[in-house]
Amino acid sequence: MSTNVTLLIVMGVLFAVGIYLLLERSLTRVLLGIVLLGNGVNLLLLSTGGRRGLAPLYASGTDPAEYSDPLPQALILTAIVITFAVTAFMLGIIYRSWVISRADVVADDDEDLRVSQQSPFDFEEDSPVPEDTTEFDGDESVPASKTNTNTDPGEARA
């Protein structure tokens, strides 16, 4: 199985640019990043399919190695549908954000900023716990009134 180097380079560029765009604050750039990542995944699945072969329909006398694998094709179709659904969802979010605030950029939330500036120390969770929490040591665990010095089991019942 030989892989086309140009296809791998294009796939790497699509992944790199897609991830870079996902890290932006503009929702439109996030959408473009999702689309580019989806196309990169499609190329990745295409390259895993191997070489081109015969259609995966059974014909007697044909060597099984000559058939092409239909699984990558089915996965590409699934990835296309998922990318389309996420794109439609993101378009809805972008439209709603534009209608409400006339902005495409996700702003910092004041509550998130306040929480991020707090100390990470929580007294209940981060306080030291003593290693030995038991109250009893050795022979002191049995009270003196319960100890039996008799060796005869008959006398203990009486």
Which structure tokens are listed for 9? 């380079």
pLDDT at position 114 over 70: yes
Distance in angstroms (rounded) separating the CA atoms of residues 140 and 138: 6
Average pLDDT over residues 117-128: 78
pLDDT at position 146 over 70: no
State pLDDT tens for residues 24-42.
Answer: 999 999 999 999 999 999 9
Which residue is associated with the tokens 């991020």? 116
Average pLDDT over residues 122-128: 76
Domain 5-55+68-113 CATH assignment equals 1.10.287.3510: yes
> Could you tell me the residue ranges of all domains in the chain?
5-55+68-113
pLDDT at position 12 over 90: yes
Percent of the chain residues past pLDDT 90, beyond the cut: 37
State pLDDT tens for residues 38-70.
Answer: 999 999 998 887 777 767 777 787 787 777 778
